[in-house]
Chains A and B, each alone.
Chain A
Amino acid sequence: MVPAAGIDGQGVSKFLTPRAGVTLVVAGLLLYPLVFTGAFYRDIGVSFVLAAISASAWNIVGGYAGQVSVGHSMFFGLGAYTPLLVYNLWGWPPLLGIPFGVVLAVALSIAVGTPTFRLSGHYFSMATIAVAELIRLLASTWNFIGAAIGLQGPATARGWWDLTFRGELPYYYIFLGVLAVVLLTTAAIERRRFGFYLRAIKASERAARSLGVPVRRTKLQALALSAAFTAIAGSLYVVKTGFIDPDSGFGILVSVQMVIIAALGGAGLLFGPLLGAVILVPLQTATNSWFGGGGSGLTYIIYGGIIVVIARFEPGGLFDLWHRVVPERWRRAHVA
């Protein structure tokens, strides 16, 4: 039997936080687009950073607090729609729509979390799916936001503030900055009382409550923070693509992407989403180009298979596997 609290964030981050490891990751991320200058590789790089942002945002509530949302696309979509909505309505630069998206996402997270966090974990997952689907259906019938066709952004930039660039490089570094903010926030949470609350709730809600953890409030705060970051990820996505429709904003596959990336790397671990994204984003690009346009179905067969295998054999993700498989002595040599 798998112990419920088997994923020990402390133990893993202990051998990853050494300055050397982090410096290596940071340097790699900073230098990547300068080494791989081809548009194709830079595009993969941007997709990677974006996927890592949204999966890290999901990780706060889904990984650390163990509240498995499979409807995070509702926050992503809100963040994606507002920048283009303010542009289409008033001609504002999309940048100014981002705060609206964050506020709406936080409000929605409280509306969804308040009733569902009273119930068991399965119920929360079920509710997040239903709410995300409801919003997707409403978005595809509501003409104000373009219904099924969606919204279009500025075709050419009127100034830098439109954030519409020709090349991939500016996007890459802006997104990387946001990823750094999300990860630094998560790292700060990890060490604070809030982070211990979250892990206590994940291990056993009843035990956490009996020890005086304000369970519902903590879960709500985690969901709100996660929703805010997810909305920002949605905004960045739309700033990059300049286009949004109900499926690419609120579709269930958007949520699936966040869950699978975090879970593959290691849910509830700081660098879990990064590891997941580094494997899955190139894999997705590869399957799409191998199997052509019709390959997206195959991509999701692979996704489904990966999710099932993780759930069955490695609920702790690849970091957990590494932790168990790599011999103790070898690891100690590298930590020291």
Chain B
Amino acid sequence: MVVVQVIVGGLLLGAIYALFSSGLTLIWGMMNFINFAHGEFVMLGMYVALLAVTWIGGGPPVFGVAAAVALAALGVAIYFLLIRHVARGPMLAQILSTFGLALLLRYSAFYFFSANFVSLPPTSLSGTINLAGIYLPVAQLVAGAVAIFLTMSLHMLLTRTTIGSKLLAVAEDRTAAMLMGIRPDRMQALAWGLSAGAAGIAGALMATAYPWSPSVGETFGPIAFVVVALGGFGSVLGSLYAGLIIGLIQAASAFWLGAIYKDIVVYGLFVALLWFRPQGLMGKA
């Protein structure tokens, strides 16, 4: 029974990994660009949720939407102020831009929120339910289910709608898309909004179930790399599967090896992927 508990817990956490990683893979697929600040976006989503609860009040829908909207706005702003100008510049500028942003956001969070761990006050999602002998916190269950739903929605948006086709058109061939009357800048800004928004709401979902501090971004960033590398760069559906797998592996290694090894296993897996399947990691590129 304990094993089932570990598996279910891992899958629910993995669903949230899938949600924020789908944001990273979207940007990679659109612009061949890695956002090194993605983990920090998740972290900011968590703090926005906390601030929304203390200032506005209301339940999970309120702070979930607040985190998504705030981070989506931040993503669009970052695109127009920073990314647009470096995206086709030298490699050094591309990498340094979001890497510097990550430092800026992480240490600003330390400065404003202190290094202490915080958690959301009890919400309507508090408590546990008993599912055939498995005890599950309601918050984890809801967060995992919502994360899977949203990741699937993002996949549907990209594959089944006009907006999705326009996004993919810009990713495929910027100039050709422009000739078809699509504005690449707007589409890429939209991608950054969606990406950061997904990270933000994933952070809010995570906040319902786990305590955190400003340094969590440092962990989530590399987790997103691993998920994206495993799922294939640019594939949202791939990151859904990979997210669930990584969540499962992490829960299992934390349970059988000890909590400190759960990150070692994830980074080790990334290095192993790098060595043995680098060609599979290039995705569409």
Contact = CB atoms under 8 A, between A and B. Distances in A.
A310 interface: yes
Contacts of B260: 137, 141
| Interface SS, A side | helix
B43 to A, nearest CB: 14
A122 B94 CA distance: 9
Contacts of B82: 308, 311-312
B110 interface: yes
A263 B96 CA distance: 9
Interface extent on B, as a size class? 35 or more
B92 A308 contact: no
A66 B89 CA distance: 12
B108 A301 contact: yes
Among B94, B95, B106, B260, chain A packs the most CB atoms within 10 A around the CB of B95
Interface string A133-144: 110011001000
Interface stretch (A111-119, A173-181, A186-194): A111-119
A134 B271 contact: yes
Contact of B34 (A66, A126, A133): A126
Interface stretch (B3-11, B177-185, B237-245, B262-270): B262-270
Contact of A7 (B90, B107, B263): B90
A151 to B, nearest CB: 20
Contacts of B86: 2, 311-312, 315
A68 interface: yes
A231 interface: no
Nearest to A130: B270
A129 B266 CA distance: 13
A308 B95 CA distance: 10
Interface in A48-68: 62-63, 66, 68
Contact of B97 (A5, A62, A303, A312): A312
Nearest to A135: B267
B41 interface: no
A307 interface: yes
Contacts of B271: 127, 130-131, 134
Contact of A125 (B93, B95, B261): B95
B149 to A, nearest CB: 29
Contacts of A133: 222, 263, 267
Contacts of B30: none
Given A116-B278, A123-B281, A130-B222, A300 B103 contact: yes
A1 B88 CA distance: 7
Contact of A68 (B81, B92, B111, B278): B92
B172 to A, nearest CB: 17
B104 interface: yes
Contact of B89 (A4, A123, A252, A305): A4
A301 B226 CA distance: 27
B225 A130 contact: yes
Contacts of A298: 107, 111
A131 B264 CA distance: 10
Contacts of A122: 32-34, 91, 94-95
Interface string B207-244: 00000000000100010011000000000000000000
Contacts of B89: 1-2, 4, 315
Nearest to A267: B92
Contacts of A106: none
B101 interface: yes
B102 interface: yes
Interface in B66-91: 81-82, 85-86, 88-91
A216 to B, nearest CB: 12
B135 interface: no
B107 A297 contact: yes
A298 B82 CA distance: 22
Interface string B247-285: 000000000000011011001101100110011011001
A118 B278 contact: yes
Nearest to A116: B274
A115 B225 CA distance: 16
A246 B267 CA distance: 16
Contacts of A4: 89-90
A122 B229 CA distance: 12
Contacts of B108: 301, 304
A259 interface: yes
Given A311-B86, A312-B86, A304 B103 contact: yes
A277 B105 CA distance: 24
B93 A305 contact: no
Contact of B93 (A119, A304, A315): A315
Contacts of B285: 120
A102 interface: no
Contacts of A259: 96, 99
A256 B92 CA distance: 13
Nearest to A69: B95
A120 B261 CA distance: 30
Contacts of B33: 122
B59 interface: no
A73 B105 CA distance: 22
A308 B101 contact: yes
A286 interface: no
A264 to B, nearest CB: 10
Interface in A1-39: 1-2, 4-7
6 contacts: A2-B90, A129-B222, A130-B267, A130-B271, A252-B218, A300-B106
The 4 closest A-B pairs by CB, nearest first: A307-B100, A304-B104, A304-B103, A315-B93
Given A304-B103, A311-B93, 4 more contacts: A1-B89, A126-B36, A304-B104, A315-B93
